[in-house]
Amino acid sequence: MARRTLKLSGLFAALFFTALMTTLLVSIATPDVDVSEQEKRTLQTWPKWSERESLKAYLRQLSDYANDQFGFREQLIKLYNKASWSLGESPSDTVIRGNNDWLFLKIKDPMLSQHKYSRTTVENIIKRRVEYIRKMKSELEARGIVYRHIIASNKMSVYSEHLPAIYALTNINASLEHFKSLIDPELAPLQIYTDEIVNAVKPTEPEFDLYFKNDSHWNDYGAYQVFMEVLRSLDQKSSKLALDPIAREFKVFEKFSGDLAQYIGLNDQLMAMEPYTEFLPCAQPDNQQSVRWDLGLAKCDRNETKILIIGDSFLVNFYPYFAESVGELYVIRQKTSRTRLLQLIDAYQPDIVLEEIVERNLAQPIPH
């Protein structure tokens, strides 16, 4: 019996040694990988020694290199992701797996949770954003330009019914509520709130959701609903505005991609039926022209109206609706400073300026 146990112990030791050596040899033979497809992050490559850094820092980089570049790492992570999902869990701490397998970016409202800024600081940042909107309104009105400010809601805020029950006890949009409390009658007509649009549309459109199931953004149909609300807000505000929206038809397709599906390493595994619509070639993101290093242009020549739209990743399937409805549509990043924005506005003289910001960034400092 003892001899048999000894043989088994030797076999297991040999198997373990073989697995360890195989992993080591694969690590040596395989070129270093710069980015992990499963984790969506940059990996540590072989560190270069510098006399300016300590030996301890260099050894820490070597440890990170060994952890990031060992053999079969990507395959093991993918296996872990699939196993976690099959057990009903989310493979990532940053992604919530909700009811009916809806995915959500986990967002802790900075006014109610531990944050790099204190609650008082967050309140002051939001207050400064309101004053920024007031200044933009004043600057643009002096130039004869119409201004609208759009808040793209966090997916958690508008589809809370798909969240795990624990989130029903948490105020997940305290920052937005604080922002709304600071908006006075002068600024109220400028505001477009996505949460109000979604809540109004959801009961009447059971066929389509307005946000992707496996992505943190609104889908084509959700972007269209916000687009139509902006048009209603702009209607008859200026005699020189000409907005000619194209009639739309929405179909459904099988969508396997999504930023949240990518975060959990299951981009090719999770499928959802999503609404989509076709855009004219001139409005498609791939055909956007670069007129300056920070400024894009979609030119459909629909009429003489020009729009400048400022925004973040929510613009991808949002701005094509506007591009198809006007002559020229200029696109710029939301993090551009107000000084730079006014320079571009004076240079290109748009008739309308639209500014979009996602709810979770309301507590981020405004670029100077």
Q: pLDDT per residue over 43-57, tens digit each? A: 667 567 666 666 666
CA–CA separation, 279 vs 285, rounded Å? 10
Looking at the whole model, is its pTM more than 0.85? no
Count other Cβ atoms within 10 Å, centred on residue 335. 13
% helix / strand / coil in the chain, to the nearest 5? 45, 15, 40
Q: Mean pLDDT lowest for which of 85-89, 217-221, 298-302?
A: 85-89
In this prediction, residue 239 carries a pLDDT of: 47
Which of residues 239 and 180 earns the better pLDDT score?
Answer: 180
The answer to whether residue 217 scores a pLDDT higher than 80 is: yes
Which of residues 237 and 74 earns the better pLDDT score?
Answer: 74
Q: pLDDT per residue over 82-114, tens digit each? A: 778 878 888 888 899 999 999 999 888 877 766
Average pLDDT over residues 176-194: 95
Count other Cβ atoms within 10 Å, centred on residue 139. 16
Residue 256's pLDDT band, with cuts at 50, 70 and 90, is: confident
The answer to whether residue 147 scores a pLDDT higher than 90 is: yes
Q: pLDDT per residue over 220-242, tens digit each? A: 999 999 999 999 998 755 445 66
Q: Mean pLDDT lowest for which of 24-33, 110-119, 174-183, 290-299?
A: 24-33
Which one-letter DSSP state was computed for residue 247? P
Tokens of 179: 């922002």
